[in-house]
Amino acid sequence: MDYQKIIDTIHEDLRYHDVFGEVASYIPELAKVDPKKFGMHLYKGVNENYSFGDSTEKFSIQSISKVFTLSIAMKLLGEDLWERVDVEPSGDPFNSLTQLEYESGVPRNPFINSGALVIADILVSNLKDPKKELLEFVRKISGDNAIDYDYKVAESEKSTGYRNYALVNYMKALGNIKNDVEPIVDFYFHQCSLAMSCEELAKAFMLFANNGKILGTGEKILSPTKIKRINALMQTCGFYDEAGEFSFEVGLPGKSGVGGGIVAIHPEQYSVAVWSPILNKKGNSELGMAALEKLTTMTGLSIF
């Protein structure tokens, strides 16, 4: 398979494509990003890397970070984790408050904001320095010690993060939050501000394509059962209330973020990250989704 040729064709087909959505602006710092940015990186092996465009430029990974924090929480709590957060698609927007009311403060899944905030609460309870340990985890799995938070983005989100404060307060009232609100949202805003390129994300997500083994040393840091569960959650809940559409079009487990990034994996084959900041109405990168649809159609390979 000539992956570079396929990747180049995707670039050519989509670079001048009309996109009608908008860059996320509810986090002021994200509104400053150049909407024309477009990059993709596919990691298949040490000497099999394929990319185009702005694939080495760092962007705000936002909700993609929820896969990293879920992985750490699963290592810490094992199956007990599922008493605090469910594993069903929400069918509601990622920042919705309504479901929580009739489901007694237990979020539908770890990838909507309420679920990620419960995970943040768990990490605040169990780790001495959660921000430092998350960074160490991400640096380790991607083999890149330069990865860091974008403190301006974290500060910017904090200044407008009323809904996330509301979600934590509400779940605290319903008994599903153990710590004070402030350390939880502080950790959450920082995890969302992680700045990574498509290349770095593709490398980090090889953990999930490689059955729990990290690149380089091959050290196994997640069991096959945990990998199965994380990949299943990406498949069913990774794209807000558009998870069905992503599955239908692309047919791979993945996760998106409002920074315009999407990562997807083909188990035992490759990991691929794409970035284009213009979002569709559901909050997913418009060109990113189109690029991944072309990838699985042109290669003729998906998990289905």
Secondary structure (3-state) at 159: helix
Q: By CB under 6 A, is residue 287 in contact with ligand GLU?
A: no
Q: Give 157 or 241: the residue with its C-beta nearer to ligand GLU.
A: 157
- Smallest distance, ligand GLU to C-beta of residue 25, A: 12
Choosing from 113, 231, 284, 302, the residue that interacts with ligand GLU (CB under 6 A) is 113
Q: Give 190 or 294: the residue with its C-beta nearer to ligand GLU.
A: 190
Secondary structure (3-state) at 281: coil
Helices (H) and strands (E) counted in the chain, each on its own, are: 13, 10
Q: By CB under 6 A, is residue 164 in contact with ligand GLU?
A: yes
Q: Dmax over Cα atoms in the chain, in whole Å?
A: 55
Choosing from 68, 94, 187, 275, the residue that interacts with ligand GLU (CB under 6 A) is 94
Q: By CB under 6 A, is residue 257 in contact with ligand GLU?
A: yes
Q: By CB under 6 A, is residue 63 in contact with ligand GLU?
A: yes
* Residue linked to tokens 């990034």: 261
How many of the chain's residues bind ligand GLU (CB under 6 A)?
A: 10
CB neighbour list of residue 139: distance below 8 Å, 6 or more residues apart = 145, 147
The gap between the terminal CA atoms of the chain, to the nearest Å, is: 18
Contact mark string toward ligand GLU, 208..237, x via CB under 6 A = ------------------------------
Q: By CB under 6 A, is residue 292 in contact with ligand GLU?
A: no
Q: Give 55 or 113: the residue with its C-beta nearer to ligand GLU.
A: 113
Helices (H), the chain: 3-14, 65-77, 98-102, 113-126, 130-142, 151-160, 162-173, 181-193, 198-204, 206-209, 224-237, 243-249, 286-299
> Which amino acid is located at 298 in the chain?
M
Q: By CB under 6 A, is residue 280 in contact with ligand GLU?
A: no
Q: Give 4 or 99: the residue with its C-beta nearer to ligand GLU.
A: 99
Choosing from 62, 90, 231, 284, the residue that interacts with ligand GLU (CB under 6 A) is 62
Q: Return the exposure string of 233-262: e unless at least 16 CB atoms fall within 10 Å of the residue's CB, then b.
A: bbbbbbbbbbbeebbebbbbbbbbbbbbbb
Residues that bind ligand GLU in the complex, under the rule CB under 6 A = 62-63, 94-95, 113, 157, 164, 192, 257-258
